[in-house]
Structure 1
Amino acid sequence: MKVSDAMTSQVSTAAPTDTVRKVAQVMAHVETGAVPIVENGKVVGLVTDRDIVLRVVAEGRSFDSPISEAMSEGEVQSVREDDVLADATAKMASHQIRRLVVLNEAGNLTGILSLGDVAKDYGAKQVGKTLEEISQEGGEMAAAPAS
């Protein structure tokens, strides 16, 4: 099974200059916990609901701040849409994350692969194994920047 068979292809995105408030409203409207940050057609970051809580709410920052101040820094972990799904779940486990950005051959965003997507299309056994590996010793269970 390929990543494209399981991923969510309808993805809401934001620009680095969008406000924290606007991105949080998008998250609430589409019921998602992660929004890719896209600039000039390329993913430059990812912001999760956890990022907003830790980097905005907990630090007392303004909700009118640009989302670039709250997003995970560094390269976002990604997979290609034609990658094997088992390899993608192994990547989630090794990086201790719950979501991967899905890119096409040109490097453009085509979707997001989450543990929920894997559960629907790949089976609860694989999700349990991946979740166990993500949760081992200090796993954050949130999107993380690439090393």
Structure 2
Amino acid sequence: MARISEVMTRGVEVIRPEETLQRAAQLMDELNIGALPVCRDDQLVGMITDRDITVRATAAGMEPTQHHVSEIMTEQTRWCTEDQSTDEVMRQMGDVQIRRLPVLDERGQIVGIVSLGDLATRQAQHTDEVLRDVSWPSEPDRPDSNSGARH
């Protein structure tokens, strides 16, 4: 059975919570990525995505040079360990509908990241099920003032 350490991406870039949203967006652009783990003193404290910057910050009118990653990052981030099986991690990703997970070592320090793409290209078994689960439409995370109507 394959382990996450065999398919994960190592050498992952991270960002500190006190960095600006602009710096997070610049780093994502430079690296051509859509998510960054947020770390304080080598410990994972959250994740920030390009979607967070757009939906949580820009839509709220937050100035990217004046606001910090800590203000919009997702806290209590899901993660996995490098010794977990790929099957176990794929189930977790499907259950909570997430496309990437930071990978931690036994000391709780980040050593990589694993994405659905990593699993699909390096571990073909069962990824179709996980993709279906992750992509299934989810409910909005806030009340809809239009009684569920979308235009």
CA distance in 1, matches of 2:100, 2:135: 14
- After TM superposition, where is structure 1 displaced by more than 2 Å over at least 4 residues in a row? none
Written as runs of structure 1 = structure 2, the 5 A alignment for 1:29-108 is 29-64=30-65, 65-73=67-75, 75-108=76-109
CA distance in 1, matches of 2:62, 2:137: 30
CA distance in 2, matches of 1:117, 1:137: 22
Give, as a single letter, the amino acid of the residue that structure 1 aligns with 2:72: A
Query: What is the CA-CA distance between 1:139 and the residue it aligns to?
Result: 6.7
CA distance in 1, matches of 2:54, 2:30: 18
Give, as a single letter, the amino acid of the residue that structure 1 aligns with 2:130: T
Identity of counterpart residues, as a percentage?
A: 34
Query: What is the CA-CA distance between 1:70 and the residue it aligns to?
Result: 1.6
Give, as a single letter, the amino acid of the residue that structure 1 aligns with 2:111: T
* Count of residue pairs brought into register by the alignment: 138
Q: Does 1:25 align with 2:7?
A: no
CA distance in 2, matches of 1:9, 1:139: 33
Runs of 5+ consecutive residues of structure 1 not aligned to the other structure: 141-147
TM-score normalized by the length of structure 1:
0.89
Give, as a single letter, the amino acid of the residue that structure 2 aligns with 1:135: S
Conserved in 2, the CA contact under 8 Å of 1:96 and 1:139?
no
Runs of 5+ consecutive residues of structure 2 not aligned to the other structure: 141-151
43-52 vs 129-138, which moves further? 129-138
CA distance in 1, matches of 2:113, 2:31: 14
TM-score normalized by the length of structure 2:
0.87
Query: What is the CA-CA distance between 1:16 and the residue it aligns to?
Result: 0.4
Give the aligned CA root-mean-square deviation in angstroms.
1.3
**Paired position in structure 2 for 1:131:** 131
CA distance in 1, matches of 2:121, 2:132: 18
CA distance in 2, matches of 1:70, 1:33: 15
Give, as a single letter, the amino acid of the residue that structure 1 aligns with 2:6: D
CA distance in 1, matches of 2:46, 2:81: 16
Provide the secondary structure at the position in 2 that maps to 1:119.
helix
Query: What is the CA-CA distance between 1:39 and the residue it aligns to?
Result: 0.3
